Amino acid sequence: MGHATRCLASLLLALGSAQIAGAAGDPARGAELYARCRACHALTHHRTGPRHCGLLGRAAGSLPDFDYSAAMRASGIVWDAGTLERFLAAPTLVVPGTTMGYAGVADPVERADLIAWLARESGSVEVCR
């Protein structure tokens, strides 16, 4: 395979991943996937990691009652589908120095599903009380 062909293949792969990541995702599947997160996170209360209630639209590292890493507080991230996609793919690359000791979610479809569930559940008035 020549250089131009490899570059085109890489571009198509990247575009395909972006389309998958931009897909709406399946919140029902995301609920199942969130079980992986429950070791450290919950929607309504802090655990080892901060609560996820009200996550979308919130600045990273901004909850006053959670002790974030300096890296997370200084990241400048505001959580939305795009920033979650990038962070969940590679947390330590997106926020070097984060104390989140998780390698990330490798599968872009799983990330889309998880983000769809977080978008639905993290803003629920019933859950966030």
pLDDT, position 129: 64
pLDDT, position 2: 42
Q: What is the pLDDT along the chain (129 residues), one digit of tens a residue?
A: 443 333 333 333 333 444 444 458 999 999 999 999 999 999 999 999 999 999 999 999 999 999 999 999 999 999 999 999 999 999 999 999 999 888 999 999 999 999 999 999 988 656 676
pLDDT, position 128: 74
Sequence ranges of the domains in the chain: 3-128
CA proximity to 25, closest of 127, 112, 123, 125: 112
**Location of structure tokens 């062909």:** 5
Q: Read off φ and ψ for residue 78, nearest 5 degrees.
A: -115, 125
Q: Read off φ and ψ for residue 59, nearest 5 degrees.
A: -70, 135
DSSP state of 58: P
Extract the tokens encoding 111: 């990330």
pLDDT, position 3: 38
Provide the phi-psi class of 99: left if phi over 0, else alpha when psi is between -120 and 50, else beta: alpha
CATH of domain 3-128: 1.10.760.10
